[in-house]
Amino acid sequence: MLDGKKTLFSGMQATGNLTLGNYLGALKNWVTISDEYNCFYSVVDMHSITVRQDPATLRKRARTLLTLYIAAGLDPKRNCIYYQSHVSAHAELAWILNCFTYMGELNRMTQFKDKAAKHADNINAGLFTYPVLMAADILLYQADVVPVGIDQMQHLEITRDIAQRFNSVYGEVFTVPEVYLGKVGAKIMSLQDPSKKMSKSDENPNGSIYLMDDKDTIMRKCKRAVTDSEGVIRYSDEQPGLKNLIDIYRACTGKTADEVVREFDGRGYGDFKAAVGEAVAAILVPLQEEQARLAADKAYLDGIIRENAERAGYYANKTLRKVQKKIGFPERVRKA
């Protein structure tokens, strides 16, 4: 606990172009709760290299993502916004935690199975131990809460197991974190296949609305979204495409599902899809403008990046030193 507030940690990978799913499932919730906690929001670029990345693209996307955190409303003076690769304690703690994690546990991770199937030519050890680096991220800052989408629950569970295992041997070293799931937007599905989550790495660009899509593209993608032939606007599992659009609309407007169903009672899917497009654009267009404004101010951003990496490093190293001492690494000898 810092300054009487609990600590929050979360991160996003700088791979692919961010989608509306990332925004509604993660970023938007981060902003809503950021006042209540001491927050660490990392651009987890070390996780990104578990799949091959073009260096220039990775660098550019990492910076865009960091800028988007700020554009979305996270104040970088009050929230620690930084690149994971700038704080070497992440890698150091991950190594230690690797020695407290079982192969059997990692073998059960569905994200690993999915990514291994998708990148069959590059099933590297980093992809396998991805959850351990994620545990290190969270435990380094003694985070009490971790806001993530539902797809990351399994990684949160393993983080808790690792923390508890470590604590049971060495005493209360780590805070055991709780997951924080946003109520609306926890899982936004693909517009083209509502059984799959909307994902940055989807090959079909029409399944996802990207945060950088212009209004025309947003409207077009919403219009083309897969629905059904029932023709009645209801919020039901039997109409998954429509349900997903209602979820998107709710998340963008703050309305309840009942209110949405009433609003569109007796109207066609075409009308509703256009309204969804408008609601999404009303959120994304101002976000894009703010992102562009910030990106143009290089000196300001560089200052934020430097200061926040230092701040993150301070807290991370405090935990790391404690862990190193507990496990019996020789103490550092200070100059007399």
148 binds ligand LTN (CB under 6 A): yes
Question: Whose structure tokens read 């990148």?
Answer: 119
Tokens of 137: 């991220």
Residues in the chain: 336
User: Which of 227, 210, 286, 277 is closest to 248 using CA atoms?
Assistant: 277
Supply the angle between the helices 89-98 and 130-140 in degrees, to the nearest 10. 120
- Pick what 47 binds: ligand ATP, ligand LTN, none; C-beta below 5 to 8 Å, kind-dependent: ligand LTN
127 binds ligand LTN (CB under 6 A): no
Nearest distance, CB of residue 106 and ligand LTN, angstroms: 14
- Any catalytic annotation for residue 115? yes
136 binds ligand LTN (CB under 6 A): no
- Any catalytic annotation for residue 298? no
* Closer CB to ligand ATP, 203 or 258, in the complex: 203
- Neighbour-count burial of 333, counting CB atoms closer than 10 A to its CB (0-12 exposed, 13-18 middle, 19+ buried): exposed
Q: With DSSP H G I counted as helix, E B as strand and the rest as coil, what are the percentages for the chain, rounded to 5?
A: 55, 10, 35
Interface stretch with ligand LTN, choices 120-128, 144-152, 206-214, 318-326 (CB under 6 A): 144-152
Are 87 and 312 contacting, i.e. CB atoms less than 8 angstroms apart? Answer: yes
Among 6, 187, 200, 326, the active-site one is: 200
11 binds ligand LTN (CB under 6 A): yes
Measure the CA–CA gap between 226 and 242, rounded to whole angstroms: 8
- Pick what 90 binds: ligand ATP, ligand LTN, none; C-beta below 5 to 8 Å, kind-dependent: none
Are 144 and 175 contacting, i.e. CB atoms less than 8 angstroms apart? Answer: yes
Binding site for ligand ATP (CB under 6 A): 12-13, 15-16, 19, 21-22, 25-26, 148-149, 151-152, 185-188, 197-201
Tokens of 52: 């091959």
What residues line the site for ligand LTN (CB under 6 A)? 9-13, 44, 47, 134, 137-138, 146, 148, 152, 155
Q: Which positions are catalytic? A: 115, 197, 200
